[in-house]
Every structure is written in C-alpha cells, then in structure tokens.
C-alpha cells in the first residue's frame, strides 16, 4: 500500500458565513495541498466537520473532491461512528468509485470493550468493498484501541493500517514490532511524525498539512535530520490548532493564508480574539 505512505491531509470543509458549503474554497484547499506535495487526500474525516454534515452534504463534498482532484492523488473517505449497523448501511449506499480506502474512527461514547471494538471493525471490513484504515483517537472517543486489539484486527485481509493518535509511543512501538509487513502505521499526531518514522511508521494523516503541505513533504520524505527540523517549525503553532477544538484554529490559519474562510458549524465557534492573536504571532514562514 505504497499509495498511503507519506502525507495524507485531513481536508477541512470550507463554509460560507451562512454555513453552506464553500465549494470554491474547497477547490482552493485541494489545489493548495496537491501543489504543496501531499501524497493522498482524506475527505470527510473529523477535521472536515463530518459530525455536523448531512448524508447528502457528505456525498456532495466527496463528489466535488473527486472532481477537483481529477485522479491526481489517492482518496480516503471517512466512514465511521458508534452505530455499527448505521455504518454498514452507509457503506451499502455509498458509491466507491474513485475511493481508495476508508478511514473509520473507533466507536465513541458507547465505550465498548476491546472485544466489541474488534467485532465492530470486523463487520465493517467484511462489508466494505475498499480497504479499511482504523483510527484510534482516545482523546475524542474516550476508549483506546490497545496494541493487542490493533494487531488482532491487522489479521483481517481488508484492514490495511491504523491512524494512531493515542500519543502513546510505547503503544505504537508494540504495534510496529509485531504488525504484518504490509500493515500501515500512520501518525495521527502531526508533531510526533518524525518519532513514528523512526519506529517504523509510514507517514501521517495531518491537520496542519492543510496549511503547510510542503513542510509535511519534508517531514515524511526527507532524511531524519531535515524531518526533525521541519517538525520543529510547528512546535508553537500546533497546539493552538486544538485549544478551541479542531478545526477552529486551523480554519482561522487558512483564512490568514488567504485560502478559505474561517467559518465553522455549531457547536463550534470561530476562533477567539486571543487565539487569533497568538496564531498571528506564530505563523510559520
């Protein structure tokens, strides 16, 4: 699965002030990241505010993204949640033309057992016509995919990797030590990407690559020293992307860069004046 090595960018969904989707803005975002050297696009992940999108809007954003991408890069589509049956229905009614894989977040709120998580993902992988990438983000879901669970799921022929956003390098090392040779270990934390690279990771699905794709090209594809130095440029601005919830800080940053507006959908609000001021002071040249 070399197509998913390097930088995947978790695309934002630009909105107009009236909360409708800004398709021109989306086109600019996609062109910006492709020209900046990312390796694949992730459409309608959590950074794309998928939780506040209707089914029709999600399909519309996917259709537009496929059109704007025009076959240049592989596309990963976000299909996940905490209702297994609803996910299976969504898979059943999704046109997978042009989709190379799905990214599926671990069930949130329900707090299932590890056995429940395994059964959930096995059902998705059995039903999905394209490969599945797991997504472990305990900070959002309140449950962790243990390394044992990940390794068990890695045995499924249609589960090809994991976006690991636990922030636990020890857990990631245990996955790397025993994962199948063709299994993808993908960083879900922008700043930890060089560390993941050292232990055997294959790249990142990134938030900040929306704004700084060329920096992530260096982080993922350059030698280790260049990779480290590129990541160090983001140390100050990276935590600001999450202070008021992703993608609030990112969308303000994108507006400063002139790529799209900073509107987010409720229950999120636009960045506070305090956050805006600090982002402005820490723009990466």
**pLDDT tens string 184-214:** 999 999 999 999 999 999 999 999 999 999 9
Residue 155: helix, strand or coil by DSSP?
coil
Tally the C-alpha atoms within 13 A of residue 150's C-alpha that lie toward its C-beta: 32
pTM: 0.97
Q: What is the C-alpha radius of gyration for the chain, rounded to an integer number of angstroms?
A: 18
pLDDT tens, position by position, 138-157: 988 899 999 999 999 999 99
Say how many CA atoms lie within 13 Å of 41 toward its Cβ.
32
Catalytic residues: 135, 163
12's CB contacts (< 8 A; 6+ apart) are 29, 47, 48, 49, 210, 247, 250, 251, 254, 260
| 193 annotated as belonging to a binding site for a ligand | no
Q: Is 160 annotated as a binding residue?
A: no
For position 1, what pLDDT does the model report?
Answer: 67
- Classified by CATH at the fold level, domain 2-233 comes out as TIM Barrel (3.20.20)
Name 133's Cβ contacts closer than 8 Å, sequence gap at least 6.
4, 76, 101, 102, 103, 104, 159, 160, 161, 162, 163, 184, 186
Give pLDDT, residue 2. 78
Mean pLDDT of all residues in the chain? Answer: 97
Within the chain, which residues score under 50 in pLDDT? none
Residue 215 CA to residue 96 CA, distance in Å, equals 31
């Amino acid at each position: 699965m070399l197509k998913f090595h390097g930088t995947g960018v978790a695309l934002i969904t630009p909105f107009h002030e009236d909360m409708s989707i800004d398709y021109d803005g989306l086109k600019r975002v996609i062109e910006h990241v492709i020209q900046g050297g990312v390796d694949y696009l992730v459409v309608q992940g959590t950074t794309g505010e998928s939780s506040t999108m209707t089914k029709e809007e999600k399909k519309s954003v996917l259709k537009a993204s496929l059109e704007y991408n025009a076959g240049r890069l592989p596309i990963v589509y976000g299909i996940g949640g905490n209702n297994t049956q609803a996910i299976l229905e969504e898979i059943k009614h999704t046109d997978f033309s042009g989709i190379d894989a799905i990214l599926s977040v671990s069930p949130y709120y329900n707090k299932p057992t590890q056995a429940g998580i395994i059964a959930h993902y096995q059902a998705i992988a059995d039903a999905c016509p394209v490969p599945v990438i797991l997504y472990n983000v305990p900070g959002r879901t309140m449950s962790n995919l243990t390394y044992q669970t990940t390794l068990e799921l890695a045995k499924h022929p249609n589960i090809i990797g994991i976006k690991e956003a636990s922030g636990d390098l020890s857990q990631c090392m245990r996955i790397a030590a025993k994962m199948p040779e063709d299994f993808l270990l993908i960083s879900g934390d922008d700043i930890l990407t060089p560390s993941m690279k050292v232990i055997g990771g294959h790249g990142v699905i990134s938030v900040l690559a929306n704004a700084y794709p060329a920096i992530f090209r260096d982080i993922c594809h350059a030698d280790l020293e260049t990779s480290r130095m590129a990541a160090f440029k983001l140390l100050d601005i990276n935590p600001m992307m999450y202070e008021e919830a992703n993608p609030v800080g990112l969308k303000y940053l994108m507006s400063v860069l002139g790529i799209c507006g900073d509107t987010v959908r409720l229950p999120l609000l636009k960045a506070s004046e305090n956050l805006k001021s600090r982002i402005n002071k820490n723009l990466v040249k």
